[in-house]
Structures are given as C-alpha cells and as structure tokens.
Amino acid sequence: MTRALLLALVMIFVTCGPAAASRSLLVGTTTTTQDTGLLDAIGADFTRHTGLRARFVVAGSGQTLQTAGRGDVDVVLVHSPSDELAFIGDGNGIDRRLVMHDDFIVLGPASDPARIRGLAAVPAFRALAASAAPFVSRGDGSGTNVKELALWKAAGVDPKGKAWYAESAAGQLATLQLAAQRRAYVFADRGTWLANQKLLLDLAVLVDGGPELLNVYHVIRVSPMKFPKVDDAGAKAFADYLTGADGQRFIATFGVDRFGVPLFTPDAGKNEADLR
C-alpha cells in the first residue's frame, strides 16, 4: 500500500497547524488519544514549538502498528506494550520511549447488578462472567481490547461467543456510548470517560486502581533502516517534543481547565517499573 493511497482510504485524519508546501509528518496513534481531545491540542502545540505539521492517522493500537509495519506512517504513539515489543522485535520500530500514562476502569450501570463495585480487576471479571450481565467489548485488537482480554484470561474466563458478551468493533467513545445504551458493563480508559462523561451519565465507575489497570503510552519511530522513505527527522522531532520539557509540561496540564484534573500523567525519563 502506498503512502498516497493510505491518505485516500477511510481512516480518521486530524490535521494540525497551517498549510505548508511540504507534506505533514504522519503520526499513527490511537482512538483514546483522539477521544480525550489530546490530539487536536498537542498537535497544535507541537507545531508552535517546532514549526512542523503533524497529521494523525487514528485507529486502535493493533491496527496502528500494522500500518506502521508497512512503513505507511513515520512515528507511532500507542498503548499496547506486548504489541509494541513485537513491532520492535520484527525490526519495524526504533527508539521506544515512555511518554505518559492514565489507567483503565470498569464502568457499568450504577445499580451494579453483577455487584463488582470496589473489587479488584480480576475478581470483578470473574463476577461479571458469573452474573452473565451484559458486557460490551471493543473487540478491535486495540490496546484497550488486548488488556481487557488479558484480564478475562487472568480470571479464567473465555467470554467469546457468550450471549452476554458483545463486541462493538469500534473506538473507545463509541463503545462507551453503546454500553450506556444497553445498560451494560464496559472496560475503558479513564481519560476518554472523563472527557466525555456528560455523554455517559448512565455509566458509573465501579472498578479502578491497581497495577493491572495501568495504561502506558510509548512513542516509537518507524525504522528508517527498514523503510527508507519515512520522515525520520520529523519522527525524531515529534518524539523529542513528547518526551521533552514542552510536551511533558503540556501533558501535565491537559484537561485541568475542563475537568479539574489532568487526563494523563507525564512519564518521560521515568523507570516504567516504578509506575506499578
């Protein structure tokens, strides 16, 4: 697939900054960064500080890494650690850097028919299966979906094919909205819920906290050795911005004006093991 053809496909693109004669840096990233509102804001801030323009290609982390594995974007910002390590192991990426984190949560109707409120994640998933309460999964291979499936596995449950388990094959916000409509349980990132909670009044946070619900984001440059046509200088500038003082300062304050708390915690330079 050529880069020009990729731009013509039905993907979600967000263009930041003024028009320029040169092409935009292509950044593959996730629906959670879009649904929180971070992309519009951080793209504009990146342009202000560097003069470069970023165009974001948005999909779940799994699909984003597949796109990057064809050399069709220059750099990725994703949150699926096992897939990221496989991506690098296949020679597709270099220079993986810790950027930020938020956390995952389990939401559902406030009446909580499965009685999971306050439980740790794995016992909560066991209780959900035992109750056969409706659950909506993204089912799209995204970082959120990968983490959800890992928790089902840890709980000793295979939910696929169960009458109570539905897959939306959609992004995070659309999946949350579907769960609210169905009065179902759902697994999501906290940032997307915070940014859209006025649309999700029928959902309550029932399970949160604990290292197993940590949601970590990394930036990875697509390998210029394997894909010589990528804009590696632009990719490095984007990674440097995200992990540098300007990007980390922006992440630390994003969301405070609207929600009273930041949606993400900046983590550049930290040891990932210390986050748990």
Note whether 208 and 131 are same-domain residues: yes
Note whether 82 and 152 are same-domain residues: no
Q: Which domain holds residue 219?
A: 3-102+214-275
pLDDT along the chain (276 residues), means of 10: 44 41 83 92 96 94 94 96 95 97 96 97 97 96 93 97 96 95 96 92 95 95 97 97 98 93 94 80
Q: Which of 213, 234, 259 is the last residue of a domain?
A: 213
Q: Which of 190, 213, 236 is the last residue of a domain?
A: 213
Question: CATH code at 54?
Answer: 3.40.190.10
pTM of the model: 0.86
Note whether 206 and 221 are same-domain residues: no
- DSSP secondary structure, the chain, as one string: --HHHHHHSS-EEEE-SS--SSPPEEEEE-HHHHHTTHHHHHHHHHHHHHS--EEEEE--HHHHHHHHTTT-SSEEEE--HHHHHHHHHTTSEEEEEEEEEEEEEEEE-TT-TT--TT--HHHHHHHHHHHT--EEE--SS-HHHHHHHHHHHHTT---TT-TTEEE--S-HHHHHHHHHHHT-EEEEEHHHHHHHGGG-TT-EEEE--SGGGEEEEEEEEEPTTT-TTS-HHHHHHHHHHHHSHHHHHHHHHTTHHHHSS-SSEE-TTS-GGGG-
**Number of structural domains in the chain:** 2
Note whether 115 and 164 are same-domain residues: yes
Note whether 120 and 171 are same-domain residues: yes
Note whether 117 and 208 are same-domain residues: yes
Note whether 184 and 160 are same-domain residues: yes
Note whether 180 and 246 are same-domain residues: no
Note whether 84 and 119 are same-domain residues: no
Looking at residue 22, its pLDDT comes to: 58
Looking at residue 11, its pLDDT comes to: 43
d(CA 130, CA 118): 17
Q: Which of 167, 198, 213 is the last residue of a domain?
A: 213
Looking at residue 2, its pLDDT comes to: 52
